[in-house]
Amino acid sequence: MTLEIIGVTVLWIFLFGYLIVASIDFGAGFFNAYSLLTGRQHILTNVIQRYLSPVWEVTNVFLVFFFVGIIGFFPKTAFYYGTTLLIPASIAIILLAIRGSYYAFETYGSRGHKGYSFMYGVSGLFIPASLSIILTISEGGFIDMINGAPSLNYNALFTSPLTWSIVVLSLCSVLYISAVFLTWYANKAGDADATKLMRKYSLIWALPTIITAGGIMFELRSHNPEHYSNMLDIWWAFAVSFLLFVGTVWFLYKKRNYGLAFGLLAGQFLVAFFAYGFAHRPYLLYPYLTIYDSFTNEAMAISLIVAFIAGLGLLIPSLYLLLRLFLFNKDYVRGNKKDNHA
């Protein structure tokens, strides 16, 4: 395995970690806001607040690692993506700031304030929508080279069915992942009403998620035939992902083994996410940029790989302790013990 493959794999691991952790966080914020607007806060708010309180601060660590790493491993990405993503990335940063601010207002100020909760929840849905545009751009066809400099064609981007397919998938995935996790979490808390409601949301968002995932493959067939052909070569990986999806839905439908259901969901997205990335290689941006012609020097690459693996070695045990001490602590999950943020 070459240094280029190791480097991009490490980055993909961090991006996958952000996909799961942030999806749970963003979806929980939305469901909290939705419960307040529909008068169901007595069912969901306590469970969701117990999850959000110790977790929200660490969510963006994965994203920071990824963006630092992508520039460190592949410096040319700054040239191609830097100016083209100025507006989408700026929107995402502004939304992250809004989300953090309104969480602070909600937690330390007027708890249960509908306006704060609404802004927190809605901004959490727009963040994955804005970030998902990066995946769309990477498929090619949206960047024009003008006088040797890349320029994003916004008309082509926002009129492309592929763009909206990926945006809709990002929204559906966030709500589906979060709903399944919160079903498990509410069940661990012994909250039957919250478990029943989140299970209902999980089943509602399951079908749109799998349909939009299929829609992306359909759009790729005409937009990027090379990537589509590579995905067909590893069709079995997507078949495994679909079977894991079926397993998740089956356990939800049978009202049992919610922890295993979430484990299958994580496996579903893990397999599909890495299969998508494997089929995308060696391109970071069709047709201009590959992992080979933009890679950093060997000494820097080895240093970054060591640093990022060490970062994983610290981050994963930290998340494990967070889960053990807070989220799945028997007293905390049942509301008998409060963390310092509450």
Per-residue model confidence as pLDDT tens digits over 33-59: 888 777 776 666 677 766 665 565 677
Whether pTM exceeds 0.95: no
The predicted pLDDT at position 246 comes to 96
Distance CA 125, CA 170 (A): 9
Read off the pLDDT of each residue in 163-170 and give the average, rounded to a whole number.
93
In terms of pLDDT, which residue wins out, 120 or 140?
140
Closest CA to 321 of 58, 39, 33, 145: 58
39-43, 89-93, 107-111, 173-177 — most confident range: 173-177
Distance CA 35, CA 305 (A): 43
The domain limits of the chain are 3-333
Q: Which long-range contacts (CB under 8 A, 24 or more apart) does 112-119 make?
A: 112/36, 112/41, 112/45, 114/33, 114/36, 114/37, 117/29, 117/32, 117/33, 117/36, 118/33, 118/36, 118/37
- With a pLDDT cut of 90, the percent of the chain lying above it is 32
Read off the pLDDT of each residue in 287-305 and give the average, rounded to a whole number.
87
Cis peptide before 208 (omega within 30 of 0): no
> % helix / strand / coil in the chain, to the nearest 5?
80, 5, 15
